[in-house]
Amino acid sequence: MTIKAFFAGFGGQGIVSLGQIWAYLAMRQGKKVSFFPSYGAEKRGGHSQAGVVVSDEEIASPLVTCPDSVLVMDGASLELGERSLKQGGILLVNSSLVKERPKRKDIRVVMLDLQNIALGLGGARFANMVALGAMARLTGAVMLKNIEAILTKFFPPEKHKFIPDNVRAIEAGWNAVDAITA
Segments of the chain scoring below 50 in pLDDT = none
Q: What is the pLDDT of residue 45?
A: 67
Q: What is the pLDDT of residue 23?
A: 95
pTM of the model: 0.93
Query: How many domains does one find in the chain?
Result: 1
Q: What is the pLDDT of residue 60?
A: 86
Closest among 63, 38, 41 to 49, alpha carbons compared = 38
Per-residue burial over 54-89, b = 16 or more CB atoms within 10 Å of its CB, e = otherwise: bbeeeeeeeebeebbbbbbbbeebbeebbebbeeeb
CB atoms within 10 A of CB 158: 7
CATH, residue 39:
3.40.920.10
Q: What is the pLDDT of residue 41?
A: 66
Q: What is the pLDDT of residue 62?
A: 83
Q: What is the pLDDT of residue 39?
A: 81
Domain containing 34 equals 2-181
Which 3 state secondary structure label does DSSP give 49?
strand
